[in-house]
Amino acid sequence: MKNKVVIITGASSGIGRALAKEFAAKGAKLSLGARRTELLEELKQELAGTEILITPTDVSKEDDCKALINETIKHFGCIDVLINNAGISMRALFEEVELNVIRQLMDVNFYGTVYCSKYALPYLLKTKGSLVGVISIAGYVGLPGRTGYSASKFAIRGFLDTVRIENMKKGLHVLVAAPGFTASEVRKVALTNDGSQQGETPRNEDKMMSAEECASHIVKAIEKRKRELILTFVEGKLTVFLSKFFPSLIDKLTYGHMAKEPNSPFK
């Protein structure tokens, strides 16, 4: 990864921030996009010695995504890796959620990935680079109380799998990375039924995989040009495996597991 040009969306916190540090340690050049550019500036200072470009980016806006790609090309001249990491979550029953919340999830998670991938693709094809989408186990198994989140992650997986097939003879590497529950602020800013932020995480963050460990696995998967990465054993690999052969059982287990969350919207 030394001197490779890597774009990371949602780089201001969580997995995105950890990815930036991991790539910086490997000598990559970074193009970082996020809405909270003040946090990106802090990260840039922390990673002094790494060539870093910062572009204010709201991935739900097509023009912002186009600008992120154009500024990267203007500054670095090429793109080797695009990691579509920016995303938001939700926690509310579909019966009670306002439709605008679902729309917002799709705009950020799915369309943000589509916009950035569309404008970066010509440059990734030139370098035979890597196109990456960070999804979730929710992109394989429907999570109750998170209809919009699961829908957006399923959609990203289908989108990237198709892009991979379309470009299989052009040398493009496409990775779909699915972390299990990972410690980050994504649950704190998750949207409730009316679109307001949840504020507090309903899960024990200390017992989850760290963002740093997750980032390390993703970078290794990119280096090995893997097509799929499913992290954690029980909540990840085992759940996805069983869902293929015992879907009704996984439905029941998923319901029971998620219902145990404090203030769960269902019981």
Question: Kindly report the CA angle at 167 between 31 and 171, in degrees rounded to 5?
Answer: 70
Helices 14-25, 37-46: axis angle to 10 degrees equals 30
Residue 123 appears among annotated catalytic residues? no
173-178 and 52-56 strand pairing: unpaired
Dist CA 170 CA 230 (whole Å):
25
Spell out a b/e string for 90-124, using b for 16 or more CB atoms within 10 Å of the CB, else e.
bbbebeebeeebbebbbbbbbbbbbbbbebbbebb
Catalytic residue among 111, 115, 119, 149: 149
Known catalytic residues?
149
